[in-house]
Amino acid sequence: MTVPPVTTAEDLGAQALFDELVANEQRIEPRDWMPEAYRRTLIRQISQHAHSEIIGMQPEGNWITRAPSLKRKAILMAKVQDEAGHGLYLYSAAQTLGITRDEMMQQLIDGKAKYSSIFNYPTPTWADMGAIGWLVDGAAICNQVPLCRASYGPYGRAMVRICKEESFHQRQGFEILLTLMQGSEEQRAMAQDAVNRWYWPALAMFGPPDDQSPNSAQSMQWKIKRFSNDDLRQRFVGMLVPQAEILGVTLPDPELRYDAETGRYAMGEIDWDEFFEVVRGNGPCNAERLQRRRDAHEEGAWVREAAAEYARKQALRQEVAA
C-alpha cells in the first residue's frame, strides 16, 4: 500500500493535518498536535485499561499460594506478573499525553477512576483460574487485537506486546479447564460451574449494545476503536463455541445458536442492570479490590521513595562526572 504524501501544518492547519494523518492510517505521536477531546478520551481509556490490568492481578493473585502444583504455581505467577507489566506499559503510554502516574494512581485509590467490572467478581475455586484465562483473557484479546492499530502510536505499540502475552494467558486458562474436564466428576462440575459464573460477565466486557454506546462513533472516527461492541462480542462467541466443544463444557445460554442466514450468533439478553450495578461500585468485590490496592500503595511507599532517592543520587553523580 502506498501512503499519499502528507501536507504540512502550514498548508492545512493543525486540525486538518491531524484529520489527514488519521485518515491515512498514520500514527499520531506525543509531539503532534491533537484535538483536546482526543487527548482526554485517550487518557481516560488508557488509564482505565492500566487500572484494569493492575486490579486484575487480585482475583488470580488469590490463588498463587494455593495452586495445585509447583508447575501451576509458576505459570500462574508468571501470568499475574505479566498483568503488572501490562499496567506499566499502559501507564507509560498515558503519561505521554500529559498526565502523571501519581495522578492516575490517586484517581484509582480515591475510587474516582473506573476499571473493568469483571475483576469485581470472586474466585472461589481453582477452576476460576481456568475460566478467567479462557474467557476473560479471551475477551481481552478480541477487544485488544484491533487496538494494536489504534491511531495513537504509544497506545498501539503497547498493545502489540500485551496481545502476545494475552494469547499465552488464554491458552493457559484453556489448558487448566481441559485438564479439569478430563478429571473426576467433581472436577468437571467445578470447571462447568466456573464457566457458568464467568461467561456472562465476560460477554459484558465488550460494553453496552451498539445502539446504547454513545461514545463509540467518535472513537471509531478517530480510529482508536475499529469494531463496534456487538461485532466484537460476535467474534468472541464465534471463537468460544468450537473451543467449548473441545473442552466439553456448555456455554450457559440456552438461546445461543448460529444463524446461517445472517452469519451471526443469536444470543440471550445480557443482564445490564447487574452490569451497571457493578460499575456503580456495588459488585461482590468492589470494596475489597480498592482497599487492597490502597493498602498495597501505602505499603509500597518506601519502595517508591527509595527508587526516587536512588535516581536522584545517580543523576547527581552523573552531573559531577560531567
Residue 93 has a CB neighbour count (10 Å cut-off) of 25
Give, in degrees to the nearest 5, the angle at Cα 54 between 48 and 59: 115
CB of 86 to Fe ion, least distance (A): 4
What's the CA gap between 12 and 112, in Å, rounded? 39
CB of 166 to Fe ion, least distance (A): 5
Mapped onto helix, strand or coil, the DSSP state of residue 28 is strand
Interface with Fe ion, residue 128, by CB under 5 A: no
CB of 170 to Fe ion, least distance (A): 8
Bridge partners (DSSP) of residue 25 are: none
Bridge partners (DSSP) of residue 152 are: 28
Bridge partners (DSSP) of residue 181 are: none
Q: Which is nearer to Fe ion, 128 or 166 (CB)?
A: 166
Residue 195, C-beta contacts closer than 8 angstroms, at least 6 positions apart: 131, 134, 135, 177, 244, 249, 250, 251, 252
Interface with Fe ion, residue 49, by CB under 5 A: no
Region of 52-60, 70-78, 294-302, 309-317 interacting with Fe ion (CB under 5 A) = 52-60
DSSP element (H, E) containing 103: helix 101-109
Q: Which is nearer to Fe ion, 173 or 207 (CB)?
A: 173
Q: Which is nearer to Fe ion, 41 or 172 (CB)?
A: 172
What's the CA gap between 224 and 155, in Å, rounded? 9
| 150 in Cβ contact with 186 (< 8 Å) | no
Q: Number of C-alpha atoms within 13 angstroms, CB side, residue 124?
A: 8
By CB under 5 A, the residues from 138 to 167 that bind Fe ion are 166
CB of 19 to Fe ion, least distance (A): 32
Binder among 42, 75, 108, 137 for Fe ion (CB under 5 A): 137
Please count the residues of this chain forming the interface with Fe ion, following the rule CB under 5 A.
6
Place of cell 462447568: 192
CB of 53 to Fe ion, least distance (A): 5
Binder among 49, 51, 72, 169 for Fe ion (CB under 5 A): 169
Interface with Fe ion, residue 86, by CB under 5 A: yes
Q: Which is nearer to Fe ion, 163 or 251 (CB)?
A: 163
Place of cell 475499529: 226
Q: Which is nearer to Fe ion, 34 or 232 (CB)?
A: 232
CB of 32 to Fe ion, least distance (A): 27
Binder among 83, 152, 163, 216 for Fe ion (CB under 5 A): 83
CB of 304 to Fe ion, least distance (A): 23
- How is 303-316 classified by DSSP, letter by letter? HHHHHHHHHHHHHH
Q: Which is nearer to Fe ion, 121 or 265 (CB)?
A: 121
Binding site for Fe ion (CB under 5 A): 53, 83, 86, 137, 166, 169
